[in-house]
Structure 1
Amino acid sequence: MGTQGDNFRVVAGRYRLEVRLGRGGMGVVWRATDLLLGRRVAVKELSLDETLSEGEARWQRDRTLREARAVAQLRHPHIIVVHDVVEQDERFYLVMELIDGGSLADRIAGYGPVGAAEAARIGADLLSALRAAHAAGVLHRDIKPANVLLEAGTGRVVLTDFGVAQVAGATTLTETGSFVGSPEYTAPERMTGAGTGPASDLWSVGALLCTALSGDSPFRRDSLSGVLHAVLSAEIRPPAQAAPLLPVVRGLLERDPERRLDAEAAERMLRTFLETGHLPVAGKHSLRGVLTAVVLVAAMAGAGVSGAALLLHDKGGGGPAPSPSPSVSTSATASATSKSATPKSVTPKSATSKSVTPRSATSKSVTPRSATPKSVTPRSATSKKPSSSSLSVSPSASFPAPALTNRR
């Protein structure tokens, strides 16, 4: 796949550019041959910005070399290998390993979204690559389906385009004011200029997983202002296809980078899904920002009184929910202690009615079915005289809410 040039160019006397594989905002990617070693390589020809001043051009040159050196030190099966960086006619060429196969974006465009297992495999490999890069102090900052390659035959996932678009610590805007990167995969903290870090790459992985599963980013809108609103403040709605991986997706798409799911925990959860078909229960420090809804139903058998409590709570830990212990008492007149120590009998309004006290009462007043009522002497000197046969929930009755754990 590619477009063959009108004639072959040889760069730096060594790399022969043969077939154009693609073109992007940062330049053109060629399939090339390393004439010295006799191997196939990919060469990215970086665009020359003629509007830059001499000082800006020098800064761009230093940045390119610094980033290329950093990426060249990375050794990971899911990170593109950078072989060389050469300069010719004031233009830079990045020489990398050649991956036979298209990108994840090509896969989605040609065959549609992938299944949950394939998305989990791609996500786990990307997170593994990012862990290695972040440990070496390298941030990607432009993770999107077009920058994820899938090797033909092996299915190997390869993350490419490290450090080409931006410099570590730079804002998301270049000196000319144009946006660098893909807004719909960009973390909120980068949008606001609050800074960038490893967590910003993880947000991008969360958006990428949604795209892989549904075919579209959850933050795609018709305008840049719409994208900004979706990323910064609108309700985040992962696609229905993300349901099997929802805890990971929601954890990665946490707006607060301090609460975002970390790469190690996310990768572990995805690997477990690949092995078992289910995500593990998120640990205290693994899933962040996911609220748990628990419904507590308290019922009193035979009394006809029930209570339900629905609590949404976001705490960083806690123990298991305690069992409910509702306090139920009779009405105000029944809860008072009789002024007289001698119990009184209760005369029913009709011969067939009963006067029932709650189970907590120490005495009973029972009217027989005969017309003549009998008084029953309670076991205790203090009795409670109910004013009616109904039960009510005391205003002081409490239904303890469970201590909910926001498992992180």
Structure 2
Amino acid sequence: MTEGTAVAGRYVLLDRVGTGGMGAVWRARDVRAAPGQDGVVAVKVLGGHDASMLLRFVREQSVRIRHPHVVAPTGWAAEDHQVVLAMDLVRGGSVADLLLETGALPASYAAVLLDQLLQALTAVHAAGVVHRDVKPANLLLEPGSPYLRLGDFGVAVAVDDIRLTRDRGVVGTDGYLAPEVLAGAPPEPRHDLYAVGVVASQLLTGRPPRPGVRPLVPEGPLRPWAEALTEPDPDLRPPSAAIALERLRRIEVPPDLPWPTVPDRVGDPPRPTGPRWPVVVSAASLVVIVGCLVAIGLMLT
């Protein structure tokens, strides 16, 4: 696909802003947007046609959780071999991008991000969905102050849908998987909470997890809370995201500045380029233009 491509007569691709596990991510304009809206969205373009990828794509577009800290699909379109999934355009990149630039984050900043992540998971779990791939790359940020949005529901499952939980092999990302997931346990919300504990460790240390190794959390007010999330026995973890959030908010985390500022990593779409003058000028028009220039020259002499 190239800039200017219109998919299904609805989404006009403006510029490529990233790459996901299922294909390219483009900034696009929804020509069917409501009056008064600019219609700019992010669209994920399906990168292949095999059955498993198509299943993931359809599964993701079926997740429609409305929450300020969730980036869920808002629509989709297909035309011939082109299939796209539309969602809000989040302009600040991901937590993974931020960690690459800053390393370990201040504990008070990390606490805000974790609070927002648990708000998102509370809504996701209340909808009967397990995300199954909570990690910094899927935690998107708005520019400026910390504002996190959970995205990428490509491997999410509805816990009461037997058909969608029969995946072959382990689903998720090494290092963020709870021990029981590796042992073949069916999806359930506490698997996401284990991943939150791993993310907490990564935010506070700046170091990615090691597969098969329980993450270490540095000394500080968040340590007992984060370690409870990564308990190998799921029964010892908080029973829900809502309770984990409640316990987090009881912790007094002293302010430790400065906080990093999230930049706008997307920017404005490129402006159309082209010649300032018409490429083709008729002979008659050329005569008129030359005549006018001569007349102006004579008046000035």
Tell me the TM-score normalised to structure 2 length. Answer: 0.74
| Residue 47 (structure 2) aligns with | 47
Instruction: Give the residue type in structure 2 aligned to 1:68.
Output: Q
- How far apart in 2 are the matches of 1:77 and 1:118? 19
Once the two structures are superposed, residues 352-374 of structure 1 have per-residue CA deviations (whole angstroms, 9 ceiling, x without a partner) of: xxxxxxxxxxxxxxxxxxxxxxx
Percent identity of paired positions between Structure 1 and Structure 2: 41
Distance 1:102 1:207, change over 3 A: same
Structure number with greater Rg is 1
Equivalent residues, number: 246
Residue 122 in structure 1 maps to residue 106 in structure 2:
no
Distance 1:60 1:81, change over 3 A: closer
Q: CA deviation at 1:261?
A: 1.7
- How far apart in 2 are the matches of 1:89 and 1:181? 30
Q: CA deviation at 1:185?
A: 0.8
Q: CA deviation at 1:9?
A: 1.3
Once the two structures are superposed, residues 247-285 of structure 1 have per-residue CA deviations (whole angstroms, 9 ceiling, x without a partner) of: 1111100112222123223212322335x649xxxxxxx
Residue 248 in structure 1 maps to residue 239 in structure 2:
no
SS at match of 1:7: coil
Alignment map for 1:142-291 (pairs within 5 Å): 142-162=133-153, 164-168=154-158, 174=168, 180-217=171-208, 219-220=209-210, 227-228=211-212, 230=213, 236-240=214-218, 243-262=220-239, 263-273=241-251, 277=254
Once the two structures are superposed, residues 71-109 of structure 1 have per-residue CA deviations (whole angstroms, 9 ceiling, x without a partner) of: 21x121100142102223344311001111111000010
User: In the alignment, is the contact (CA less than 8 A) between 1:166 and 1:180 conserved in 2?
Assistant: no
Choose the corresponding residue for 1:16, options 4, 12, 19.
Answer: 12
Distance 1:21 1:68, change over 3 A: same
Residue 35 in structure 1 maps to residue 35 in structure 2:
no
- How far apart in 1 are the matches of 2:142 and 2:173? 23
- How far apart in 2 are the matches of 1:172 and 1:239? 34
SS at match of 2:15: strand
- How far apart in 1 are the matches of 2:221 and 2:188? 28
Q: CA deviation at 1:61?
A: 4.3
- How far apart in 2 are the matches of 1:131 and 1:18? 34
User: In the alignment, is the contact (CA less than 8 A) between 2:56 and 2:155 conserved in 1?
Assistant: no
- How far apart in 2 are the matches of 1:91 and 1:248? 45
- How far apart in 1 are the matches of 2:122 and 2:83? 28
- How far apart in 1 are the matches of 2:93 and 2:225? 26
Instruction: Give the residue type in structure 2 aligned to 1:186.
Output: L
| Residue 101 (structure 2) aligns with | 110
Choose the corresponding residue for 2:61, options 63, 68, 73.
Answer: 68
Instruction: Give the residue type in structure 2 aligned to 1:272.
Output: R
- How far apart in 2 are the matches of 1:117 and 1:172? 40
- How far apart in 1 are the matches of 2:231 and 2:191? 10
Distance 1:132 1:150, change over 3 A: same
Distance 1:62 1:182, change over 3 A: closer
Instruction: Give the residue type in structure 2 aligned to 1:261.
Output: P
- How far apart in 2 are the matches of 1:254 and 1:171? 24
SS at match of 1:75: coil
- How far apart in 1 are the matches of 2:217 and 2:179? 19
| Aligned alpha-carbon RMSD (Å) | 2.4
Unaligned runs of 5+ in 1: 221-226, 231-235, 279-408
Q: CA deviation at 1:211?
A: 0.7
Instruction: Give the residue type in structure 2 aligned to 1:23.
Output: T
SS at match of 1:31: strand
Once the two structures are superposed, residues 190-232 of structure 1 have per-residue CA deviations (whole angstroms, 9 ceiling, x without a partner) of: 1111221000000000001111111123x32xxxxxx24x2xx
- How far apart in 2 are the matches of 1:208 and 1:199? 14
User: In the alignment, is the contact (CA less than 8 A) between 2:133 and 2:155 conserved in 1?
Assistant: yes
SS at match of 1:204: helix
- How far apart in 1 are the matches of 2:130 and 2:108? 27
Distance 1:173 1:202, change over 3 A: same
Q: CA deviation at 1:166?
A: 4.7
With 86-95 and 123-132 compared, the bigger mean Cα shift is at 86-95
- How far apart in 2 are the matches of 1:139 and 1:206? 16
| Residue 379 (structure 1) aligns with | none
User: In the alignment, is the contact (CA less than 8 A) between 2:45 and 2:84 conserved in 1?
Assistant: yes
